[in-house]
Amino acid sequence: MSVLSHFILWWLGLAQAETQTSQAERDCLVRHAAGKRRLVEIGVWHGVTTARLRAAMAPDGVLYAVDPFPAGRLGISLQRIIARREVGRLTNGAVEWVRLTGAEAGTRHAAACRGPVDLVFIDGDHAHESVRRDWEAWSPLVESGGIVALHDSHPTPARPIHHAGSVRFTQEYIRVDRRFRVVEVVDSLTVLRREAAA
């Protein structure tokens, strides 16, 4: 189905917002997001996981929803319209929409001295270099005890993505990063906790 066709059906209430995360992955993210106050999601798409994170976070929390939302053939991003509507149905906490790449958003966050974050969900561009840039921008900003979750970072029978850049970078660099410890793997989702500084 084309993007426009899906958008029309969604607008008419005949189709749901789409996500590539599994139910188990979303439930895992919710467990780790519960009560968190400063959350980042890189790669929003239709806002399905964004809405779940918003519902789970602390009432005084803020969720940075990061996605460049490139314009389509009509000159607008239909995904952005869907995401803002889906996430806007909830009122818990605050959402800041950041229309940048993950790396650009991390650089801006650090430059603005906004302080550490306690959960980052990386689900943007899955190319090896893109994941590297997101990791290098955001991993230093995760506070001690904070969580980083990476989607499509582990192959599964349903998703045999062994050669994906996101899988390779996770295996080669992230899983051996001594600042973090793997605490859970659910489907293609890898969850790590930031260790206390030595």
Predicted pLDDT of residue 196: 81
Predicted pLDDT of residue 43: 97
Q: What pTM did the predictor assign? A: 0.95
Residues 1-34 pLDDT 10s: 788 899 999 999 999 999 999 999 999 999 999 9
Predicted pLDDT of residue 72: 87
**48-56 vs 23-33: helix crossing angle, rounded to 10:** 30
Q: Return the bridge partners of 82, or none.
A: none
Mean pLDDT score, 60-86:
95
Considering the domain boundaries, does residue 23 fall inside one?
A: yes
Count how many domains the chain has. 1
Q: What is the CATH number of the domain that holds 142?
A: 3.40.50.150
Domain membership of residue 84 as a residue range: 18-194
How many Cα atoms within 13 Å fall on the side-chain side of residue 97?
A: 15
Q: Where does the pLDDT of residue 198 fall: very low under 50, low under 70, confident under 90, or very high at 90 and above? A: low
Considering the domain boundaries, does residue 157 fall inside one?
A: yes
Considering the domain boundaries, does residue 9 fall inside one?
A: no
